[in-house]
Amino acid sequence: MQSWVGPVALYMLRGLELTAILAVVCSCASVLLGMLLGSALVAKPPFVRATVRLFVELWRGLPLIVILFAIFFGLPAFGLRLGASAAAGVGLSLWGSAVIADNVRGVIQSIPAGQLEAARALGLSWMKAMLLVILPQAIRRLLPPTLNLVTSLIHGTSLAAQLGALELLESGRRLIQRLLLSVGDGHSLAIFGAVLVVYFCICYPLVLGSRWLERRQQAG
Partner 1 sequence: MNFGYDLDFWYLVQHGRELALGLGWTVAITAIGGAGGAVLGFVGAVVRVERVKGLSLLVAALVEFIRTTPLFVQIFFLYFGLPEIGLDLDALSVACVALVIWGGAYNVENFRAAIESVPQAWRETASALGLRRGQIFWLITRPVALRIAMPSLTNTAIEILKGSALMVAISFPELTDTGINLVAVSFRVFEIFIALAATYLFLAAGLARGMRALESRLAWPG
Check binding of 156 to partner 1 (CB under 8 A): yes
Angle, in degrees to the nearest 10, between helices 46-61 and 84-110:
130
Check binding of 24 to partner 1 (CB under 8 A): no
The piece of 3-11, 39-47, 122-130, 168-176 that touches partner 1 (CB under 8 A) is: 168-176
Query: Please, what is the minimum distance in Å from the beta carbon of residue 134 to partner 1?
Result: 27
Check binding of 109 to partner 1 (CB under 8 A): no
- Cα separation of 37 and 200, whole Å? 31
By CB under 8 A, name the one of 63, 110, 139, 183 that touches partner 1.
63
By CB under 8 A, name the one of 12, 133, 169, 175 that touches partner 1.
169
134-139-140 Cα angle (round to 5): 110
Check binding of 79 to partner 1 (CB under 8 A): yes
Distances (CA, A) of 196 to 56, 114, 155, 193, 210: 30, 47, 10, 5, 21
Distances (CA, A) of 111 to 5, 136, 189: 53, 11, 49
Name the nearest CA neighbour of 42 among 96, 94, 109, 95.
109
Check binding of 66 to partner 1 (CB under 8 A): yes
Check binding of 58 to partner 1 (CB under 8 A): yes
**Binding stretches for partner 1 (CB under 8 A):** 58, 61-66, 69-70, 73-74, 77-79, 151, 154-156, 158-159, 161-162, 169, 173, 176, 186, 188-189, 192-193, 195-196, 199-200, 203-204, 207
